[in-house]
């Protein structure tokens, strides 16, 4: 009978121990559930840490719970949340400071924290001085210990990846040795959950910060684009004004001088007629220069200057150029010839612009040639190639590659020969030809050895060349 009672008691005790284990696990689960619920409600790290410390302090019946984040740069631990029991809060208030405000400096020299941060292992102590030795006066530490009944302080690293990026500091009102295995395991489970929750919160914070940066950058970009658009409008306005104020009167002057020459205002004598012709030549030059500058400005602004149309015949354009420049060549006793092609080539072109581009090249040849002349040939391979060869001053080797790509670049010999010249003509020709999907380049044996300019333009296949 007594044996049976003893056996029942043993079973009851065993059952109790198992129930105790279950109760601890149950508490842990309840705590984890509580932490999870909190994580759903908040996303900011400081807010989350504050709620976490409050929950674990209450659930585990602690005197305090604090989360401190490690700042590698300053080798310090700064608190982001500290929850303290009522009696510890009273003691700290009387002392005039809070644990949250205390930053742990020189972590690598503090044996207690060093172990958690650098060795990533937990630590515990019964001595408050080990933690706040140089930060809180001894008499205050004694008061804190007495007033809050802190017996043990536990320190757990919060590990992210390969590094501890913070610690969890727990103040117990009993000795660490009195914690049973289940309670220790329960605390460890919480640490892992807390690390994950804080990690999530920091990720969210980073994400939000980068979103804010992107938003600001986008706003800045938008503002800059608006300012650019405004600037563009101002430039357009400037170009329109220039066109109106400069080109219109010049064109009018040309018109009136034509009327003078044709006798609309009475017959002019020979001397006056010569003056008017000179006046017309100079005005024509100025109109061309203004047009060049305006076109160049349009190219610089990335505007659509060229409007390509199919079926543009090349030969009439070259004919017109030769006719217009013949007088200039004759006045310098230079030959100017066009070797006409056997086929009629058609290209996709903006007739006026391509004419201006080719005109510039031929005009340039005449301008910088003193003896001999200029020969214009049209050759055909897969493309149509216009070759303008002169017997002029040539191009220095260091300039020959840049002649179509740089403005205001004129060689010394060129400057000596022609004082007038804006330095934009060939640059503009280059831009126009590129806009026609063509190529342009120059070759020269050097100074005094003449130059050859090549222009390659794609043939308009839709309107094929015809035999004359």
Partner 1 sequence: MDIFTQIPLRIIKEQELIRGPVAWDEAKKVVGLTIDRSNGSVSFSGDQRDIINRLVAQYERLFGRASHEVCKEAVQDLIAEMAPEEVPSSLKQEA
Binding site for partner 1 (CB under 8 A): 9, 12-13, 16-17, 19-20, 22-23, 26-27, 61, 63, 85, 87, 149, 173-175, 178, 180
Other CB atoms within 10 Å distance of the CB of residue 422: 17
Rounded to whole angstroms, the Cα distance separating 409 from 430 reads 14
Q: How far is the CB of 211 from partner 1 (least distance, A)?
A: 44
Rounded to whole angstroms, the Cα distance separating 80 from 205 reads 14
Residue (15 or 224) nearer to partner 1, CB? 15
> CA separation (Å) from 299 to 118, 304, 434?
62, 8, 11
Q: How far is the CB of 132 from partner 1 (least distance, A)?
A: 20
Residue (17 or 221) nearer to partner 1, CB? 17
Residue (147 or 372) nearer to partner 1, CB? 147
* Interacting residues of 157 by C-beta distance below 8 A, sequence separation 6+: 116, 117, 120, 121, 122, 164, 166, 167
The DSSP secondary-structure symbol of 108 reads G
Residue (23 or 231) nearer to partner 1, CB? 23
Q: Apex CA 382: angle with CA 379 and CA 383, to 5°?
A: 55
Rounded to whole angstroms, the Cα distance separating 21 from 259 reads 116
Question: 3-state DSSP call for residue 155?
Answer: strand
Q: How far is the CB of 100 from partner 1 (least distance, A)?
A: 22
H/E segment holding residue 274 = helix 270-300
Rounded to whole angstroms, the Cα distance separating 354 from 341 reads 18
Q: How far is the CB of 96 from partner 1 (least distance, A)?
A: 23
Q: How far is the CB of 5 from partner 1 (least distance, A)?
A: 12
Tokens of 226: 């608006």
Residue (147 or 423) nearer to partner 1, CB? 147
Q: How far is the CB of 69 from partner 1 (least distance, A)?
A: 28
Q: What is the 3-state secondary structure (H, E, C) of 156-197?
A: EEEEECCEEEEEEEEEECCCHHHCCHHHHHHHHHHHHHHHHH
Q: How far is the CB of 197 from partner 1 (least distance, A)?
A: 26
Residue (20 or 213) nearer to partner 1, CB? 20
Q: How far is the CB of 95 from partner 1 (least distance, A)?
A: 19
Other CB atoms within 10 Å distance of the CB of residue 4: 8
Q: If you count them, how many residues does the chain have? A: 468
Residue (185 or 290) nearer to partner 1, CB? 185
Residue (174 or 434) nearer to partner 1, CB? 174
């Amino acid at each position: 009978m007594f044996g049976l009672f003893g056996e029942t008691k043993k079973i009851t005790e065993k059952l109790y121990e198992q129930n105790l284990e279950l109760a601890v696990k149950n508490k842990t689960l309840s705590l984890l559930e509580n932490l999870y619920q909190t994580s759903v409600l908040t996303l900011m790290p400081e807010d989350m840490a504050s709620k976490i410390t409050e929950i674990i302090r209450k659930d585990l019946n602690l005197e305090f719970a604090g989360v401190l984040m490690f700042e590698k740069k300053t080798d310090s631990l700064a608190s982001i949340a500290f929850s303290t029991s009522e009696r510890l809060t009273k003691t700290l208030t009387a002392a005039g400071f809070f644990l949250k405000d205390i930053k742990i400096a020189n972590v690598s020299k503090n044996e207690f924290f060093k172990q958690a941060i650098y060795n990533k292992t937990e630590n515990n102590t019964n001595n408050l001085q080990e933690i706040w030795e140089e930060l809180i006066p001894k008499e205050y530490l004694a008061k804190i210990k007495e007033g809050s009944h802190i017996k043990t302080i536990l320190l757990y690293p919060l590990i992210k990846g390969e590094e501890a990026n913070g610690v969890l500091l727990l103040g117990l009102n009993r000795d660490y040795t009195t914690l049973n295995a289940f309670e220790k395991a329960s605390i460890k489970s919480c640490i892992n959950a807390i690390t994950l929750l804080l990690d999530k919160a920091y990720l969210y914070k980073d994400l939000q910060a980068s979103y804010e940066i992107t938003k600001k950058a986008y706003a800045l970009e938008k503002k800059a684009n608006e300012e650019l658009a405004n600037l563009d409008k101002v430039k357009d306005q400037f170009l329109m004004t220039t066109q109106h104020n400069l080109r219109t009167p010049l064109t009018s002057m040309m018109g009136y001088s034509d009327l003078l020459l044709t006798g609309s205002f009475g017959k002019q004598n020979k001397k006056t007629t010569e003056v008017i012709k000179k006046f017309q030549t100079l005005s024509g030059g100025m109109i061309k220069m203004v047009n060049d500058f305006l076109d160049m400005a349009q190219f610089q602004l990335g505007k659509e200057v060229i409007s390509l149309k199919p079926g543009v015949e090349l030969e009439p354009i070259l004919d017109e150029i030769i006719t217009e420049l013949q007088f200039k060549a004759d006045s310098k006793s230079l030959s100017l010839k066009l070797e006409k092609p056997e086929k009629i080539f058609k290209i996709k072109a903006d007739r006026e612009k391509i004419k201006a581009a080719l005109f510039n090249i031929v005009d340039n040849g005449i301008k910088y040639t003193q003896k001999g002349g200029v020969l214009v040939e049209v050759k055909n391979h897969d493309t149509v190639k216009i070759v303008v060869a002169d017997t002029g001053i040539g191009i220095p080797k260091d300039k020959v590659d840049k002649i179509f790509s740089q403005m205001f670049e004129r060689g010394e010999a060129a400057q000596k020969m022609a004082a007038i010249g804006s330095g934009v003509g060939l640059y503009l020709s280059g831009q126009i030809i590129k806009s026609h999907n063509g190529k342009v380049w120059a070759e020269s044996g050097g100074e005094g050895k003449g130059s050859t300019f090549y222009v390659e333009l794609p043939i308009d296949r839709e309107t094929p060349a015809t035999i004359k």
